[in-house]
Structure 1
Amino acid sequence: MKALLLAGGLGTRLRPLTEQLPKPMAPVGNRPWLEHLILQLKEQGIGEFVITLKHYPELIRSYFGDGSRFGVSIAYTVEEEALGTAGAIKNAEHLLGERFLVFNADVIQKVDILPLIEFHKQHGGSATIGLTRVEDPSQFGVVDITPSGRILKFIEKPPIGQAPSDLINAGVYLLDRQVLSLIPAGREVSIERETFPLLIQQGLGAYGCHMRGYWLDMGTRERYRKVHWDILDRTFPLPIAGHEQSRGIWVGEECVIGSGVLLIPPVLIGDRVHIGDKAIIGPNTVIGNDCRIEREARLSETILWDKCRVSRGAQLYQCVFGYEAEAGSGHVLYEAVVNRMKEAMTV
């Protein structure tokens, strides 16, 4: 069975970090999220992937190639114009089989797909939608569902207290090929607003399956930071690269840590990182590969992507720095988001 990974979104809510980067390529625990997704699906038996591209497509294509480096096979489609969720699926029709999985590739999750597959075989409908529970369903697309799992209707962002359930669309689908016949070609189509309601109307069977495991839409800066805090405290059991030097402190290869450096767990340090004397790092801090932290710098609840530089005495609190971003000597930044163009935005 193939998995179709929808990776063409613009990631507008994560800007400026995603201005020149596809959102699924944002690093999570010092590795692009899309790589994590492919590897965890590979562990569950998925070996063939189709990735839909639009925003800076070559960054994804050049990173993954044909997939052989990761032990999988990858094909691609490119959207010339925005096609929406269903439109992107239709655009990949020629690469899909009689039954296939679909994932919103910018949603962070670690779930077992086998129950979804087994449930789909049992109910006999055309579509199974992975569902997850959330505390506040008013921010998402909610489903009204029968005890047998048949979906009666979708309600997009219902008013607080008026949602029929706390189960929302998790952005994971198992579809039979006949669903593709309901999607018009060549225009933007929403699978939630058009395709699934049409499935229900025509009696072709749309069912929901509660998927247990970790799930979080990393669409905002706050949620992006939360994903990392969940990794560090192991609420989200994503594999962590590097040696656990002591409890809650992971250090990569070829790192240089100066004298008098204080590491306050949890902290994740990538490969080839240089940390100057008397720097204080942590808690809840992730440092990417090839970063340089100069002496007496202070980082707390901060995420640095690869090749960042923090100059002497700079202080970063609850910040996110994109690739190659810099903090000048003595700078004090709080809740700053700095992209690779070295432009800061305070939120």
Structure 2
Amino acid sequence: MQALFLAGGLGTRLRPLTEHLPKPMALVGNKPWLEHLLRHYKEQGVNEFVIAVKHYRELIESHLGDGSKYGVRIEYAVEKELLGTAGAIKNAEPLLRDRFIVVNADIIHQVDLSSALAFHEKHGGAVTICLTEVDDPSHYGVVEQTQDGEIVRFVEKPKKEESPTNRINAGIYMMERRALDHIPAGRAVSIEKETFPLLIDNGSGVYGHPIGGYWMDMGTKARYRQLHWDLLDRRFPLAIDGQEGDESGIWLGDNVRVGQGVLLVPPVMIGDDVTIGDRAVIGPYAVIGNGSKIGSQVRLTHSILWDRCKVRSGAQMNECIFGSGMQVGPHILHEAVCNRTLEVQRR
């Protein structure tokens, strides 16, 4: 099987975290999400990948390489300018097989694709859109389907009481190569607003199939936090690196140095080569990235630190997200989101 990962965007709503980083490279549980995604699809039998890249492509290419270290093959489709969802697929056409899976690589998910693939083979249409169910569809585009699953129209952000369904596009598609004949080359094209409606109108066959498992659009800081709390609570069953300690809900990486009188309040995830100073209190709901240094008497709760962060002694942090290499002086911070090296003055 072959999968095309769409990984060209920056993710403006996650700034400043993704200001100089492709959104799918944001860390999830101390590892780039794109790496998690690659491993997940390999587990489901995908061994050939095409990754559509644009902004900071070198970060993706240098991390994943040609895929050999993961036991897969990776090729890259480079966009000279952003071409939209369908435009990026069309740009990758020379690298694609007769049938392939398209994945919006910034969508967090862990799903079983076997039933969707079987459904796609059975109906014989050009596209199967994987669908997920949400409590409130008013923030999304929902689908209206026939009894056999064929999609007849999309309803954009309906009022909750007027929505024909609560099923939305999950950002995962099974596609036949013939669908690409209906995407114009050389310009930006939206798959949701242009390509899918066209394929419905011309009878190519666009079907929808509900998928189970975990699904989260990490497009906001609140949802980015929530997916980490789901990870720590194991509602999101992503593999966690490190050993779980004697007390459940505390994961420690390699070479973690913990000072005297430190209190770890689960759930807590601590990466490799982390130092925690004396009498610090870490957790609940804390993720500390590899190579970070936490000073003495630090209080850290409901916060996510990426790699190589340095928190000086006496700091108090609640609901913060710090990008790689952040340095903060002694202070009290609440709901801070930062992605540059600085000293935060005491308030």
Q: TM-score range by the shorter chain?
A: over 0.9
Cα distance change, pair 158–239 in 1 and its aligned pair in 2 (3 A) = same
Normalised to the residue count of structure 1, the TM-score between the two structures is 0.97
**Is residue 326 of structure 2 the alignment partner of residue 325 of structure 1?**
yes
User: Corresponding residue for 1:298?
Assistant: 299
User: Corresponding residue for 1:182?
Assistant: 182
**SS state at 1:278 partner:** coil
CA distance in 1, matches of 2:156, 2:54: 25
CA distance in 1, matches of 2:45, 2:200: 30
CA distance in 2, matches of 1:291, 1:199: 50
Could you tell me which amino acid in structure 1 is paired with residue 291 of structure 2?
D
CA distance in 1, matches of 2:341, 2:157: 35
Could you tell me which amino acid in structure 1 is paired with residue 231 of structure 2?
I
User: Corresponding residue for 1:222?
Assistant: 222
CA contact (8 A) 2:321 2:336 kept: yes
Could you tell me which amino acid in structure 2 is paired with residue 187 of structure 1?
R
Q: What is the 5 A alignment of 1:1-347?
A: 1-245=1-245, 246-329=247-330, 331-342=331-342
Shift of 1:161: 2.3
| Identical aligned residues as a percent | 59
Shift of 1:3: 0.1
CA distance in 1, matches of 2:172, 2:256: 39
Shift of 1:106: 0.2
**SS state at 2:50 partner:** strand
CA distance in 2, matches of 1:267, 1:149: 42
CA distance in 2, matches of 1:156, 1:32: 31
Shift of 1:242: 0.4
After superposition, the C-alpha distances for 1:269-317 in whole angstroms (9 at most, x for unaligned) are 0000000000000001000000000000010000000000000000110
**SS state at 1:286 partner:** strand
Cα distance change, pair 32–253 in 1 and its aligned pair in 2 (3 A) = same
Count of residue correspondences: 343
Give the gaps of 5 or more residues in structure 2: none
CA distance in 1, matches of 2:238, 2:335: 25
Cα distance change, pair 128–294 in 1 and its aligned pair in 2 (3 A) = same
Normalised to the residue count of structure 2, the TM-score between the two structures is 0.97
CA distance in 2, matches of 1:73, 1:288: 28
**SS state at 2:161 partner:** coil
Shift of 1:342: 3.6
CA distance in 2, matches of 1:220, 1:299: 22
After superposition, the C-alpha distances for 1:145-202 in whole angstroms (9 at most, x for unaligned) are 1121000101222233222100000000000001000000011100011100011101
**SS state at 2:10 partner:** coil
**SS state at 1:152 partner:** strand
**SS state at 2:160 partner:** coil
CA distance in 1, matches of 2:161, 2:334: 35
Could you tell me which amino acid in structure 1 is paired with residue 323 of structure 2?
G
CA contact (8 A) 2:132 2:215 kept: yes
CA contact (8 A) 2:327 2:343 kept: no
139-148 or 48-57: bigger deviation: 139-148
CA distance in 2, matches of 1:306, 1:268: 13
Cα distance change, pair 342–160 in 1 and its aligned pair in 2 (3 A) = farther
After superposition, the C-alpha distances for 1:122-166 in whole angstroms (9 at most, x for unaligned) are 111110000000011111121111121000101222233222100
39-48 or 155-164: bigger deviation: 155-164
CA distance in 2, matches of 1:229, 1:165: 28
Could you tell me which amino acid in structure 1 is paired with residue 168 of structure 2?
I
CA distance in 2, matches of 1:33, 1:343: 28
After superposition, the C-alpha distances for 1:225-281 in whole angstroms (9 at most, x for unaligned) are 000000000000000000001200000000100000000000000000000000000
Give the gaps of 5 or more residues in structure 1: none
CA distance in 1, matches of 2:231, 2:3: 25
CA distance in 2, matches of 1:89, 1:248: 41
Shift of 1:341: 4.2
Shift of 1:343: 8.3
CA distance in 1, matches of 2:343, 2:122: 53
